[in-house]
Amino acid sequence: PAEPVYVPKGENQVAFQVPDNYLPENRQAMAPAVFNRFADDTKTRVQVKQISLPDLSVPLQLGRREPFSLFIPKHRKLAARLIDIFLGMRTYDDFLSVSVYCRDRVNPEMFVYALSVAILHRPDTKDLPIPPLSEIFPDKYIDSAIFARAREEANIAPTGSRLPIEIPRDYTASDLDEEHRVAYWREDIGLNLHHWHWHLVYPFETDIRIVNKDRRGELFYYMHHQIQARYNCERLCNRLGRVKRFHNWREPIPEGYFSKLDSLVASRTWPARPAGAVLKDINRPVDQLSFDLQDLERWRDRIYEAIHTGAYINPRGERVPLTEFGGVDVLGNIMEASILSPNQNVYGDLHNLGHVAISYCHDPDHRYLETFSIMGEPATAMRDPIFYRFHAFVDDVFLEHKNTLPEYSLQQVGVHSCPASAIYHQFTLLDFPGVEITDIGVQTPNQPENLLATFWNKSDVDLSRGLDFTPRGPILARFTHLNHADFTYKITANNRNNAPRRGTVRIFMAPRQDERGLPYVFRDQKELMMEMDKFTVLLKPGQNTIERKSTESSVTIPFERTFRNLEENRPIGGDSLEQFNFCGCGWPQYMLIPKGKEEGFPMDLFIMISDYTGDAVEQPESRDGCRDAVSYCGLRDRKYPDARPMGYPFDRRARVGVETLPQFLTGNMAVTQITIRHTDTVLPRMRSGSMSNTLTFA
Ligand code: CUO
């Protein structure tokens, strides 16, 4: 488009000049007055083309003020229809036109979801920034008590002299609830944004061409597995045991959760869950939703049966093997369930309806006219302790499958005479002939070697886009979050071959000791291995020194990207498009490492260099900016850029005789002990060169 179509902030308000019949029916008589409401600060007017509108009756079945949840089958069908409509618009102008028409008619949460998925996937818009959901719907991330204060501040003080409103650190519970010790992590805005964005990039029900991304079922497993590993480590840092699986769905849930969130859109409080809640059969005609706990149990048992027999049943009743490499991908789609599940009649919709059952336990038959609690949608679910207990169950099902696979092996010369099986064998090798790691470590500036430092920072998010009141202009909420000092990995590796060798450096970290202070056995420790980074190196013959900054991590995105996809008020369109990195999926950089302990928390740093011939994925180079969180988010429009199973080398049982991490090592791997030391103080945050204007730091 020639005109800038999307300018997010401040004075550069955009107004859409729409055909009269696009305004809501009850507003059409006063069309000019409504339009003039925007005139004061409008810099840019976009003429919206009148088109013959597609049939919107399906998405309009959900009321404007009803809460929307992706996990509810009826809602996701309506959203899928809306996404289809958006994707089906032939030109950019038609897409803009129908979006503008829908904006004042369709349920706002469903509108934002469907529009975001469409923008991400249409070839003519996929480089447009998607504003973080915390700006559109701040009520999903921030204590509701903040909003009345924000309104007051906006009325008292003009733009520029408004004070940030501080979000208290302990607003959802007190320390009487031991789970509250990790609330700072569960309720972190950036983490929840990552999870929301991941589900936006990997929707489970819409146009099959969008759902069917390379290894999406496997990535569903792996990304959520990594959430579990990281959360468990955070718990150990806070003297809590690892998460207990929630697998007996008849048992009361001891963990309560009172989110203190209010929905501004639906004008309601998110229901709380007191300690001791019990799941019930769900029968809610209003949501066209009816299933029993027995259904969930049957699906669970059938999935276990498929794992233990090594084959699932397809719709023709045939048994199809769960293969060594593709099996986990099919299982991910079966479990979630996505529309790629090969047989929903048999395996159901276990994970999604598990979220639903938990989120409706306070009103399973709608007798109190209540809606779902925060487990009911991806934007908020990670706040609740039950999320991790339920996902520990989900993760354990995948582990059950992984435990049926052959272990990774050591190089065995001459075993494979057939070249095809030799290539196949390459993916499951651990060692890298001639390549040896001789030393590894981490260095934080001004700190002893192998020490990482964490502390608290305060940062501001702008709420103004999500709050509809005048006078307009930025209004900031200040929140406290974990952060750490940037550090560098140092690796010394020897290449004894007389030619260069390409390899993939794989960096993981895990706690050394369990809840009792005893050293971990391999089989438990591997489940806690957090991926920290993964990158390719070319090793010259002889000694090589590799340095890698923590900020280059393949799992994270920088702070600016988590919270604001646009760096400044630059209009979209024109030559500068390529410079933007718009991809919001990725673990927040400031949450890269666990909190540690004030007295120091011991961890094992593990580094491996694998043979690139077993890692390589042949595909055209990606020109896309969205590539810095590939480990958890994949590459846009490309295959997942690592041929090994996700989680390699820790996703399978160890070979016979390996009881501890040191026994697992081959020459191309190394482990060293590091310590994470936490300082329980809020430190000033440095403003980095690329920092957005709208982010100010205390
Ligand atoms: Cu991401 Cu259960 O899948 O929330």
CB 12 within 8 A of CB 44: yes
Can you tell me the distance from the alpha carbon of 585 to that of 634, in angstroms, rounded to the nearest whole number? Answer: 9
Are residues 388 and 527 part of one domain? no
Predicted pLDDT at 564: 65
Query: What are the tokens at 434?
Result: 């001639």
**Does the pLDDT at position 154 exceed 90?**
no
Q: Is the pLDDT of residue 47 over 90?
A: no
Work out the mean pLDDT of the chain and round it to a whole number.
88
Q: Same structural domain for residues 331 and 251?
A: yes
Question: Is the pLDDT reported for residue 609 higher than 90?
Answer: yes
For residues 217 and 155, which has the higher predicted lDDT (pLDDT)? Answer: 217
- 292 band by pLDDT with thresholds 50, 70 and 90: very high
* pLDDT at 419 > cutoff 70: no
Residue 150 domain-assigned (yes or no)? no
Amino acid sitting at position 536: T
Bigger pLDDT: 582 or 135? 135
Mean pLDDT of 171-198: 94
Q: For residue 372, is it within any domain?
A: yes
CA of 378 to the centre of ligand 1 (A): 6
For residues 258 and 74, give the distance between their C-alpha atoms in angstroms, rounded to a whole number. Answer: 27
- Are residues 224 and 85 part of one domain? no
CB of 507 within 8 A of CB of 534?
Answer: yes
**Residue the block writes with tokens 């595909």:** 619
Do 219 and 81 reside in the same domain of the chain?
no
Residue 22 lies in a domain: yes
Model confidence band, residue 28 (pLDDT cutoffs 50, 70, 90):
confident
Catalytic-labelled residue, pool 336, 436, 531, 560: 336
- Please report the pLDDT score of residue 41 as a whole number: 58
684 pLDDT tier (thresholds 50, 70, 90) = confident
Rounded to whole angstroms, how far apart are CA atoms 587 and 347? 31
Backbone angles phi, psi at 390, to 5 degrees: -70, -45
- Supply φ then ψ for residue 512, to 5 degrees: -85, -30
Check pLDDT > 70 for residue 422.
Answer: no
- Whether residue 589 contacts residue 419, with contact meaning beta carbons closer than 8 Å, is answered with no
pLDDT at site 412: 57
Q: Are residues 583 and 645 in the same domain?
A: yes
- pLDDT for 245 beyond 60: yes
The pLDDT confidence band at residue 192, using thresholds 50, 70 and 90, is very high
Say if residue 565's pLDDT is above 50.
Answer: no
Run of H or E including 442: strand 435-443
Contact 200, 223 (CB under 8 A): no
Annotated active-site residue 578? The verdict is: no
362 shares its domain with 442:
no
Percent of the chain whose predicted confidence (pLDDT) is above 70: 88
Inside any domain, residue 422: no
Among residues 129, 121, 130, 103, the alpha carbon closest in space to that of 16 is found at 103
pLDDT band at 4 (very low <50, low <70, confident <90, very high): very low
CATH code of 564's domain = 2.60.40.1520
Residue 501 has pLDDT above 90, yes or no: yes
Q: Kindly state the average pLDDT of the residues 622-627.
A: 72
Is residue 80 predicted with pLDDT exceeding 70? yes
200 C-alpha vs ligand 1 centroid, how far in Å?
A: 11
Cβ neighbours around 53 below 10 Å, total: 14
Q: Decide if 396 is inside a domain.
A: yes
Residues 342 and 448 in one domain: no
225 lines ligand 1 (CB under 6 A): no
Question: Does residue 485 carry a pLDDT above 60?
Answer: yes
237 is written with which tokens?
A: 């840092």
Residue 77, pLDDT > 50, answer: yes
Asked which of 570-579, 591-600, 660-669 is least confident by mean pLDDT, the reply is 570-579
Task: At 94, give phi and psi (nearest 5°).
Answer: -65, -40
Asked if residue 389 has its Cβ within 6 Å of ligand 1, the reply is no
- Each residue of 644-674: pLDDT tens digit? 999 999 999 999 999 999 999 999 999 999 9
pLDDT per position as a tens digit, 337-382: 999 999 999 999 999 999 999 999 999 999 999 999 999 999 999 9
Task: Domain count for the chain, please give it.
Answer: 3
Q: What is the CATH number of the domain that holds 314?
A: 1.10.1280.10
Radius of gyration of the chain (CA): 26
Higher-pLDDT residue of 34, 554: 554
Cβ of 378 closer than 6 Å to ligand 1, yes or no, is: yes
Say if residue 544 is in the same domain as residue 584.
yes
Q: Ligand 1 centroid to 630 CA: how many Å?
A: 19
pLDDT value of position 570? 37
Q: Is the minimum distance from the CB of 636 to ligand 1 under 6 angstroms?
A: no
The Å distance, Cα 80 to ligand 1 centre, comes to 18
Is the CB of residue 353 below 6 angstroms from any atom belonging to ligand 1?
no
pLDDT band at 1 (very low <50, low <70, confident <90, very high): very low
pLDDT recorded at residue 303: 98
For a pLDDT cut of 90, what percent of the chain falls above it?
A: 68
Sequence-distant (6+) residues with CB within 8 A of 621 are none
Nearest Cα residue to 249 out of 315, 312, 293:
293
- Give mean pLDDT, residues 189-201: 93
Q: Which pair of structure tokens corresponds to residue 103?
A: 């904006």
Query: Is the pLDDT assigned to residue 689 strictly greater than 80?
Result: no
CA-CA distance, 337 to 114, in Å (whole number)? 19
Q: Is the peptide bond before 275 cis (omega within 30 degrees of 0)?
A: no
Mean pLDDT of the region 596-600: 98
Same domain, 217 and 305: yes
Nearest to 528 by CA among 231, 191, 188: 231
Which DSSP string do the residues of 390-459 spell out, in sequence order? HHHHHHHHHHHHHTTSPPPB---TTS--SHHHHHHHHTTB---TTEEEEEEEEE-TTS-TTEEEEEEEEE
Mean pLDDT along residues 38-42: 54
> Mean of the pLDDT values across residues 325-346?
97
Q: Is the ipTM of this complex over 0.95?
A: yes
The tokens describing 678, both together, are 């936490």
pLDDT(138) > 80? yes
Q: Which residues contact 362 (CB under 8 A, 6 or more apart)?
A: 271, 272, 273, 277, 368, 370, 373
- At 251-283, the pLDDT tens digits run 999 999 999 988 877 777 889 999 999 999 999
Q: What is the pLDDT of residue 571?
A: 36
For 35, what's the count of Cα atoms within 13 Å in the CB-facing half-sphere? 15
Q: Is residue 688 part of a domain?
A: no
Which ligand 1 atom sits closest to the C-alpha of 351? 2
For residue 210, what pLDDT is reported? 87
Residue that finishes a domain, picked among 128, 158, 187: 128
Q: Are residues 198 and 107 in the same domain?
A: no
Question: What residues make up the domain containing 616?
Answer: 428-460+478-569+578-682
Report the separation in Å between the CA atom of 222 and the middle of ligand 1, taken as the mean of its atom positions: 12
210 found inside a domain: yes
Are 199 and 77 part of one and the same domain?
no
Lowest mean pLDDT, pick from 419-423, 478-482, 495-499: 419-423
Phi, psi of 20 (to 5 degrees): -55, -35
Last residue of a domain, one of 128, 162, 187: 128
Closest CA to 595 of 257, 244, 230: 230
CATH number, domain of 48, equals 1.20.1370.10
Average pLDDT over residues 7-34: 64
Q: Which among 385, 402, 419 is the end of a domain?
A: 402
Same domain assignment for residues 111 and 186: no
- Residue 418 located in a structural domain: no
Take residue 193 and report the two structure tokens written for it: 């944004």
Considering only CA atoms, which of 125, 101, 115, 23 is closest in space to residue 68?
115
The type of residue at 487 is F
Pick from 335, 375, 390, 391 the residue to mutate for probing ligand 1's pocket: most ligand atoms within 8 Å of its CB.
Answer: 391
